[in-house]
């Protein structure tokens, strides 16, 4: 897996070019195309995070920038693993629970 920390202009261009969406976003995930992750197919893909947007979200939510970037990274990794919160409300709830579970593990590990 690769991780790119970038700015709003760059992520907006990637968003436009690959997803045909206008403007910047906080995180993009580009799976390597395998149907499922296994040790044999160890390449997950790419996660792109806009630090400009992460900083805005951090300021708006009183969340530390480190926590915001961690949350966005977990979100992107879950997309690489096949989760998609846009597919249904049930999938959105499932993905949110998994994000929270993983973030709790990260927080516990940092304490």
**Contact of 18 with 46, CB cutoff 8 Å:** no
* Domain count within the chain: 1
pLDDT tens-digit profile, the chain (111 residues): 999 999 999 999 999 999 999 999 999 999 986 655 555 666 889 999 999 999 999 999 999 999 999 999 999 999 998 898 989 999 999 999 999 999 999 887 665
d(CA 66, CA 2) in angstroms, rounded, equals: 18
pLDDT of residue 6: 98
Give the per-residue pLDDT at 34. Answer: 60
Q: Which parts of the chain are beta strand (E)? A: 2-6, 27-31, 45-50
The CATH number covering residue 60 comes to 3.40.390.30
Domain carrying residue 14: 2-110
């Amino acid at each position: 897996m690769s991780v790119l920390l970038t700015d709003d202009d760059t992520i907006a261009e990637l968003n436009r070019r690959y997803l045909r969406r206008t403007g910047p976003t906080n995180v993009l995930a580009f799976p390597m195309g395998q149907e499922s992750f296994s040790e044999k197919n160890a390449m997950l893909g790419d996660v792109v995070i806009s630090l400009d947007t992460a900083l805005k979200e951090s300021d708006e939510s009183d969340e530390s920038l480190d926590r915001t970037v961690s949350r966005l990274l977990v979100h992107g990794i879950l997309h690489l693993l096949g989760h998609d919160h846009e597919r249904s409300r049930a999938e959105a709830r499932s993905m949110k629970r998994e994000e929270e579970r993983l973030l709790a593990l990260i927080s516990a590990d940092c304490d």
